[in-house]
Amino acid sequence: MDLMEKIFALAKRRGFIYPGSEIYGGFSGFWDYGPLGVELKNNIKKEWWKSLVYEREDVVGLDSAIIMNPKVWEVSGHVEAFTDPLVECKACHHRFRADKVEANVCPDCGGKLTEPKKFNLLTEVYVGTTEEGKEKAYLRGEITQGVFVNFKNVVDSTRIKIPFGIAQIGKAFRNEITAGNFTFRSREFEQMELEYFVEPEAKEAERMFEFWKNARLNWYISLGMSKINLRFREHEDKERAHYAAKAEDIEYKAPFGWSEFEGIHNRTDYDLTKHNLKYKDDQGKEYTPWVIETSGGVDRAALFFLLNAYHEEKERIILKLHPKLAPYKVAVFPLLANKEELVKKAREVYGGLRKDLFVAWDDRGNIGKRYFAQDEIGTPWCVTVDFTTLGDETVTVRDRDSTKQERVAIDKLAEYFQNKLSI
């Protein structure tokens, strides 16, 4: 089994990610996150939000609607230019993205491909209650436009001044020609984006571009991404999106090749000019700010963090997820499930820790099997309540990565884990 197959199997088996609508045969490009997957995704989003909105004075948050007035997408250029080049095999009629196939040959049957034609990625929806009154709208193809259309609202309703950023996390939809590589290319996915507005000067934009590029790379590294799995790649002229004057990707070394993780774009004044929006500074000077954007995918982050964390040591599978990202922070076990006093004490410890942390309970099988099961889902610490506990109110804490064990007093446990989590 290659790594992608292993992650796919683990994700399903342990409740991270399931194929969407599976009992009806699935639906290509759509995925559901299980009990552990939703925790992993929420933890990624929480850390991202914390690093931008809570830790910086110059960034505020937003949550705009998924469906907007269709004029937004006409004005932004997406109706016209949000396209990928589509080719079709003349023999089997399978469709592909022209820039993802080699030598004009069908990857499925070897047949000849048609000339590329533009394929728009926006997903259409119809809104309204009567047949005649239904209006065509779009599910947003990027979450970005919601930020631009609220630019004036945010400036007017906060005290924020340029340079400043608006951060947003939310679903986006693209009618991808070929969804695939598990969740990497989905038709429904989540983005986490920062639009950072600067004065309209190329030099300032370039400086902030470099700043955000490095800040974003370091954020991934601070959450346990191996440096060797990450790199920057600048877009060539022909692949840049219609709004970008400069674009660089942070790429991840996936089993299917180096792949875009997050895009850093200099959108200049393209969008605000299109929406006819300006900014007035304290001196009354009016101008159209430029925008540096960092646009990452939550689903790609979840997938790449899983791939990056996957380790095998002999029989053991270990997800070495950063504790801040791990779904469960701690698992609590009674040494023996049939000793009432151990179970009672362990339930007390479990109940106490659950006030602040997401904690697992396991009393099946033996301790070895429980460690094995927790390692596989990335739980950083396991707590065992044993006979010594009943005498001295201490428990064994076992570390996932080193497998080292130490005794910690029950009344110090919450603080012990909070300290470890704050590193």
Site string for ligand ATP, 251-290 (x = CB under 6 A): ---------xxxx---------------------------
Whole-angstrom Cα distance, residue 88 to residue 113?
5
Query: Does the protein bind ligand ATP through residue 37 (CB under 6 A)?
Result: no
Shortest separation between residue 296's beta carbon and ligand ATP, angstroms = 5
Residue 44 or 342 with smaller CB distance to ligand ATP: 44
Whole-angstrom Cα distance, residue 367 to residue 99?
51
Determine which residue in the list 150, 191, 374, 396 makes contact with ligand ATP, applying CB under 6 A. 191
Shortest separation between residue 260's beta carbon and ligand ATP, angstroms = 4
Site string for ligand ATP, 15-34 (x = CB under 6 A): --------------------
Query: Does the protein bind ligand ATP through residue 186 (CB under 6 A)?
Result: yes
Residue nearest ligand ATP (C-beta atom): 297
Shortest separation between residue 245's beta carbon and ligand ATP, angstroms = 14
Determine which residue in the list 14, 41, 140, 174 makes contact with ligand ATP, applying CB under 6 A. 174
φ, ψ of residue 258 to 5 degrees: the values are -55, 130
Determine which residue in the list 176, 248, 362, 386 makes contact with ligand ATP, applying CB under 6 A. 176
Site string for ligand ATP, 114-153 (x = CB under 6 A): ----------------------------x-----------
- 326-365 residues near ligand ATP, rule: CB under 6 A: none
Determine which residue in the list 164, 182, 189, 371 makes contact with ligand ATP, applying CB under 6 A. 189
Q: Which stretch binds ligand ATP (CB under 6 A): 199-207, 296-304, 306-314, 414-422?
A: 296-304
Query: Does the protein bind ligand ATP through residue 168 (CB under 6 A)?
Result: no
Shortest separation between residue 346's beta carbon and ligand ATP, angstroms = 41
Counting residues that bind ligand ATP (by CB under 6 A) gives 16
- The contact set with ligand ATP (CB under 6 A) reads 142, 174, 176, 185-186, 189, 191, 260-263, 295-297, 299-300
